[in-house]
């Protein structure tokens, strides 16, 4: 089975690759430098193949008026991170958008809720979403579930995603793989090879709940896809 990356019906969706994710910041992701390196490979490969690049960016108003209702704030009611205009809310330089890329903001975990995403995809004629970003079990995973509910085909670039720990990330990838109807999981270098017409390795969904993992088998099963 092959993955068909046709520019006219695919896009790459980049979730929350912002400066608040760096080590020492509020949403630090383990091995974030490597995640960014693999994200860069994926994004540049898609650009070269003529596949649209779309960025979802989590940004809030300084007043907190658009935050999740019970999200923590400081004593002045200001959100603790990702405030519009602050440096930590910016997309990381290594994967920054280019002129023809599309950028939209979101205020929830999923990139679909209350955003322009579905309108953008409809106008582009997209039915296949190549997805990467952070945090794997939160903003990334909720976006994937919503894409599946809406009958999009999803290809997850697993090594261009990350979370607070690698274990959290691996479990989330296996959770998604268990229910990734019509979808695939691939690594960044294999995505690049696929888009260039070379042989590549990817895991493809064939049946629900394929990975009945335990804490002792997470690493082995993660490496198998």
pLDDT of residue 18: 96
Global pTM?
0.95
- Residue 29 pLDDT > 70: yes
Q: Which of 182, 183, 141 is nearest to 161 (CA)?
A: 141
Q: Using one digit for the tens of pLDDT, what is the confidence trace for 103-124?
A: 999 999 999 999 999 999 999 9
Q: Please state, for a pLDDT cut of 90, what percent of the chain lies above it.
A: 85
- Residue 79 pLDDT > 70: yes
Buried b (16+ CB within 10 A) or exposed e, 103-124: eebbbbbbbbeebbbeebbeeb
Q: Is the dihedral of CA 72, 61, 147, 101 positive or negative?
A: negative
Q: Which of 82, 78, 37 is nearest to 58 (CA)?
A: 82
3-class DSSP assignment, residue 137: helix
Contacts of 216 (CB under 8 A, 6+ apart): none
Query: What CA–CA distance (Å, rounded) separates 4 from 194?
Result: 9
pLDDT of residue 200: 95
- Residue 212 pLDDT > 70: yes
- Report DSSP letters for 81-96, one per residue: S-BTTSGGGSBPGGG-
pLDDT of residue 1: 53
| Helix extents (H) in 70-198 | 117-124, 141-149, 166-178, 188-195
pLDDT, average across residues 3-14? 88
pLDDT of residue 54: 98
3-class DSSP assignment, residue 52: coil
Query: What is the CATH number assigned to the segment(s) 10-223?
Result: 3.40.50.850
Q: Under a CB-based contact definition with an 8 Å cutoff, are residues 157 and 35 in contact? A: no
Q: Using one digit for the tens of pLDDT, what is the confidence trace for 158-184?
A: 999 999 999 999 999 999 999 999 999
């Amino acid at each position: 089975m092959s993955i068909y990356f046709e520019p006219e019906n695919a896009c790459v969706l980049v979730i929350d690759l912002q400066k608040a994710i760096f080590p020492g910041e509020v949403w630090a992701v383990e091995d974030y430098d490597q995640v960014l390196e693999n994200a860069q490979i994926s994004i540049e490969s898609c650009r070269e193949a003529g596949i649209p690049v779309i960025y979802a960016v989590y940004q809030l108003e300084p007043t907190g008026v658009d935050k999740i209702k019970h999200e923590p704030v400081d004593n002045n009611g200001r959100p603790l991170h990702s405030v519009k205009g602050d440096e930590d809310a910016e997309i990381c330089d290594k994967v920054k958008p280019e002129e023809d890329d599309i950028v939209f903001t979101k205020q929830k975990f999923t990139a679909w809720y209350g955003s322009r995403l579905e309108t953008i995809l409809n106008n582009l004629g997209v039915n296949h979403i190549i997805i990467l970003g952070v945090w794997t079990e939160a903003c990334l995973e909720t976006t994937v579930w919503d894409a599946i509910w809406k009958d999009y085909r999803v290809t997850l670039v697993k090594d261009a995603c990350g979370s607070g720990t690698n274990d959290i990330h691996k479990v989330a990838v296996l959770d998604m793989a268990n229910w990734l109807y019509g979808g695939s999981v691939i690594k960044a270098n294999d995505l690049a090879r696929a888009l260039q017409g070379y042989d590549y390795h990817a895991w493809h969904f064939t049946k629900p709940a394929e990975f009945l993992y335990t804490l002792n088998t997470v690493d082995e099963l993660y490496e198998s896809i």
